[in-house]
């Protein structure tokens, strides 16, 4: 098995407007044993407006890796995204982007 | 996303059972604390937003928890209104044929959102009650797992409808 074709972990992440010199934050969606894969794809499409292939790829990352970064940018914006994910019943957290 | 109507076909028996579950769910949502709810099922609906910062989680919770739970109550009320429109608020007949007759609920995009969020939340609550921590957790002899699976079937059907599949 080769990992050569794996995309770089962050290449799909939407980077929202970040003021110069401010820190970058991320919204992370975590796997859970309850939410349906079809529902998670629907949420990513409806809320973030992602195309289907991207929404499916992110869902599969959550499913297989246990979590994925769905957005990054200013902290307040990431909290809004986390709140929206909670509204849908997804398990999401906010964190500072790893250096 | 669109103003197209989604038509949900459901038997009266299903509608009555679902109305019972949603009513229980609505009762659960009357929690008014701004702290982490004691009930783990309710806590799952308003999880910590920071895994390593209790103070930031507390602040986030103060800002969001009440709105999130209020919104769930509104969602549940919309679902109940749709169900009562076809089943009546209580099961008033033991006529088997009437219970298995299929009724129709028409959902505009707002109502569809309420249904999707409520069915997903009902599954989270039920999973918490059933102690589901792994996707493989299932007890075929426990009828509550049958209800859990049925909610998943109904949710998946509505997701497909929402996606226009």
* pLDDT class of B33 with cuts at 50, 70, 90: confident
Identify the pLDDT of residue A3: 42
Arithmetic mean of pLDDT, A27-35: 97
Q: Which backbone phi and psi does B98 adopt, to 5 degrees?
A: -65, -35
B-chain CB neighbours of A42 within 8 Å are 116, 159, 162-163
Measured CA to CA, the distance from residue A90 to residue A35 in angstroms comes to 7
> Over 90: is that where the pLDDT of A18 sits?
no
Q: Is the pLDDT of residue B2 over 70?
A: no
Query: pLDDT grade, residue A1 (50/70/90)?
Result: very low
Q: Where are chain B's structural domains? A: 11-162
Which of B49, B116, B124 comes nearest A93 by C-beta?
Answer: B49
How far is C-alpha B122 from the geometric centre of its chain's CA atoms? 4
Contact flag A86-B156 (C-beta cutoff 8 Å): no
Which chain A residues are Cβ-neighbours of B133 within 8 angstroms?
33
B52 vs A contacts (CB less than 8 Å): 95
Mean pLDDT of chain A: 88
Statement: the pTM of the whole predicted model exceeds 0.90? no
Is B128 within 8 Å of B44 (Cβ atoms)? yes
> Rounded distance, CA B15 to CA A60, Å?
33
Residue A43 in tokens: 């949420």
Task: ipTM value, please give it.
Answer: 0.91
Residue B91 has pLDDT above 90, yes or no: no
What pLDDT score was predicted for residue B164?
Answer: 84
Q: Do B64 and A45 touch (CB under 8 A)?
A: no
pLDDT band of residue B165 (cuts 50, 70, 90) is low
C-alpha–C-alpha distance, residues B80 and B98, integer Å: 20
| Residue B123, pLDDT above cutoff 80 | yes
Region A50-75 average pLDDT: 97
Closest to B114 (Cα-Cα) out of B83, B145, B87: B83
Question: What residues does each domain of chain A span?
Answer: 36-96
Place of tokens 């799952």: B44
DSSP at A24? P
Position B68 pLDDT exceeds 80:
yes
pLDDT of residue A2: 43
pLDDT of residue B88: 57
How confident is the prediction for chain B on average, in pLDDT?
Answer: 90
pLDDT for the residue numbered B152: 97
A76 burial level (CB within 10 Å; 0-12, 13-18, 19+):
exposed
Query: CA A92, CA B32: separation in Å to the nearest integer?
Result: 22
């Amino acid at each position: 098995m080769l990992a050569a074709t794996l995309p770089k972990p962050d290449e799909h992440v939407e980077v929202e407007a970040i003021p110069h010199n401010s820190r970058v934050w991320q919204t992370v969606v975590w796997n859970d044993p309850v939410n349906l894969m079809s529902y998670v794809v629907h949420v990513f499409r409806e809320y973030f407006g992602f195309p289907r292939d991207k929404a499916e790829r992110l869902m599969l990352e959550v499913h297989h890796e246990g979590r994925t970064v769905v957005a990054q940018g200013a902290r307040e914006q990431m909290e809004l995204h986390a709140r929206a994910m909670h509204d849908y019943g997804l398990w999401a957290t906010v964190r500072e982007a790893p250096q | 996303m669109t103003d197209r109507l989604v038509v949900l076909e459901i038997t009266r028996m299903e509608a009555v059972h679902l109305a019972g579950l949603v009513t229980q769910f609505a009762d659960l949502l009357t929690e008014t604390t701004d702290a982490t709810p004691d009930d783990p099922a309710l806590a799952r609906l308003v999880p910590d937003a920071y895994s390593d910062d209790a103070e930031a989680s507390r602040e986030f919770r103060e800002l969001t928890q009440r709105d999130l739970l209020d919104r769930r109550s509104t969602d549940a009320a919309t679902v109940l209104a749709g169900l009562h429109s076809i089943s009546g608020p209580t099961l008033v007949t033991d006529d088997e044929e009437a219970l298995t007759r299929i009724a129709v609920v028409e959902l505009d995009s707002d109502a569809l959102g309420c249904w999707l969020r409520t069915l997903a939340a009902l599954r989270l609550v039920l999973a918490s009650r059933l102690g589901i921590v792994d996707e493989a957790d299932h007890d075929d002899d426990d009828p509550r797992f049958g209800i859990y699976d049925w909610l998943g079937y109904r949710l998946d059907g509505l997701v497909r409808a929402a996606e226009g599949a």
